[in-house]
């Protein structure tokens, strides 16, 4: 089962290494990790996606909480939330194929960022599933390069208490 956590952490040097080290050191399965600073420059926000049974998830949550630089851990998997991922996709596209690609992009609300002699770069934002579907549709055009950001998540409604 896939779980999504978000973490608020001290914006200290080495925090990311501590968190990544926890996963490698204890053999937990980490699917994606994204990080960026919050509106408070001393705090960073991390979104983690990991895979495992409920017992492992409970352990992961507890172990993350044990890290001194971690201020808050929330398992957002079952909470009403907004989940977004960004992806850049470079594909082979002969000029004769561009029309179809524009159409697919339009349906998925993807942006065309670059059009070259025989390639195009598309940008798409959405849930991971939407991006998976989009990539599947594009695969006949030969994907040359693919960059995915990993998930960022936010709980709907409810305002976070100021720490």
Residues in contact with another protein by CB under 8 A are 9-10, 13-14, 17-18, 21, 25, 55, 58-59, 62-63, 65-72, 163
If the CB atoms of residues 59 and 83 are measured against another protein, the closer one turns out to be: 59
Q: Which residue has the tokens 């030969």?
A: 142
Asked if residue 122 lies in contact with residue 112, where contact means CB atoms within 8 angstroms, the answer is: yes
Cα 83–chain centre separation: 8
Asked if residue 159 lies in contact with residue 10, where contact means CB atoms within 8 angstroms, the answer is: no
Distance in Å, CB of 123 to another protein, minimum: 35
If the CB atoms of residues 63 and 83 are measured against another protein, the closer one turns out to be: 63
Distance in Å, CB of 133 to another protein, minimum: 38
Q: Is the dihedral of CA 92, 98, 100, 105 positive or negative?
A: positive
Distance in Å, CB of 55 to another protein, minimum: 8
If the CB atoms of residues 21 and 140 are measured against another protein, the closer one turns out to be: 21
Distance in Å, CB of 35 to another protein, minimum: 16
If the CB atoms of residues 58 and 100 are measured against another protein, the closer one turns out to be: 58
What are the percentages of helix, strand and coil residues in the chain, rounded to 5?
30, 45, 25
Q: 122: closest CA among 136, 143, 140? A: 143
């Amino acid at each position: 089962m896939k779980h999504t956590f978000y973490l608020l952490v001290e914006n200290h040097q080495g925090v990311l290494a501590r968190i990544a080290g926890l996963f490698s050191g204890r053999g937990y399965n980490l699917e994606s990790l994204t990080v960026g600073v919050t509106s408070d420059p001393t705090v960073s926000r991390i979104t983690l996606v990991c895979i495992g049974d409920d017992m492992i998830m409970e352990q992961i949550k507890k172990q993350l909480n044990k890290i001194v630089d971690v201020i808050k851990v929330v398992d957002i998997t079952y909470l009403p939330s907004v989940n977004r991922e960004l992806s850049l996709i470079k594909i082979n596209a002969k000029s004769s194929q561009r029309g179809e690609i524009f159409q697919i992009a339009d349906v998925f609300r993807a942006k065309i960022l670059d059009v070259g002699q025989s390639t195009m770069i598309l940008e798409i934002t959405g849930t991971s599933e939407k991006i998976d579907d989009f990539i599947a549709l594009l695969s006949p055009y030969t994907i040359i390069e693919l960059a995915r950001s990993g998930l960022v998540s936010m709980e709907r409604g409810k305002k976070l208490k100021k720490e």
